[in-house]
Structure formats: C-alpha cells, structure tokens
C-alpha cells in the first residue's frame, strides 16, 4: 500500500458520519489521524473547520488533509483561502490522483451528500498514493501561492 502519514480531517455537521467512517478506516490502515471536528451533529459553520484544517496543513503539522461538508464546495473554498494550501474538490479517483500529480494538492475535499463511503475511500487512496510530478507543473503550482 503506501507509507503511513499524518492526516488531518475536518468537516461540518452534514459530513459528520462520513468523517467518522473515514477516520476509523485511515487509522486501521496505520495512518495517524488528527480529527479537527466537529464532535457532534449540532449545526456548525464549515469555514471555521476549513480554516482550522488549512492552518495545520500550512504549518506542516500534518502531511495531508481531508475536508468534508455537504457538497464539498464550501469547505474547499474556506481551505483555499490559505495561500500555502491547495485543496481540490474531488468525487472520483482520477481527479484525486491528478490533483496530486499536476497540482501538488495537499488537501482534498468531498461532499458527503454527493459521494458514498466507498467512493470517498477510493478517492483518498488515489490521493495518498500519488506524488507530485513537478517538472512542467511546478511553475504553475508556484503561481498558486504567489499570483503576482
């Protein structure tokens, strides 16, 4: 499979069950998982958890991040507010692989209302197993953090 990593996972209330399922699965695979919340199904604001996730990824506290909300859209927007983080919204493994290989994504986002646990796991496997290709992609990735 792949080498164990430190992975942060965060969601909003809509993705609480998917987050719990994915957290346990990742731990079973030998990864160290930082669950950034939430811990209950009470309504929360996805930007709060997206910003928290982006912060630990940007600090280098974890190797990769997984962001979840109802659609994946809102939390991915929040995560991408941090210039050190590249979050890709994915719904199938090809995009999850390509966001690593071509865009050096360090976070993926998925929508719990749009993707089931098995597809989410397939996306995570592709994301964690893939490496950034560099080369012709590097200058483009550099522009994501330094747009001027």
Answer yes or no: 69 catalytic.
Answer: yes
| 11, two tokens | 């969601």
Instruction: Given the residues 31, 69, 99, 123, select the one marked as catalytic.
Output: 69
Instruction: Given the residues 13, 87, 99, 102, select the one marked as catalytic.
Output: 102
Pairing state of beta strands 32-35 and 64-69?
Answer: unpaired
127 touches 98 (CB < 8 A): no
41 touches 12 (CB < 8 A): no
Which of the 8 DSSP states describes residue 21?
H
Answer yes or no: 102 catalytic.
Answer: yes
Catalytic residue annotation: 69, 102
């Amino acid at each position: 499979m792949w080498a164990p990593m430190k992975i942060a996972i965060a969601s909003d209330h809509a993705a609480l069950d998917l987050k719990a399922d994915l957290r346990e699965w990742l731990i079973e695979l030998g990864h160290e998982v930082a669950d950034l919340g939430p811990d209950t199904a009470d309504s929360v604001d996805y930007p709060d958890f997206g910003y928290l996730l982006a912060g630990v990824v940007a600090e280098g506290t974890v190797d990769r991040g997984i962001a979840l909300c109802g659609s994946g859209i809102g939390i991915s927007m929040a995560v991408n507010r941090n210039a050190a983080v590249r979050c890709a919204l994915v719904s199938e493994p090809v995009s999850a692989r390509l966001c690593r290989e071509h865009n050096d994504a360090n976070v993926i986002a998925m929508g719990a209302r749009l993707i089931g646990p098995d597809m989410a796991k397939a996306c995570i496997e592709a994301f964690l197993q893939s490496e950034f290709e560099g080369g012709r992609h590097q200058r483009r990735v550099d522009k994501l953090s330094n747009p001027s």
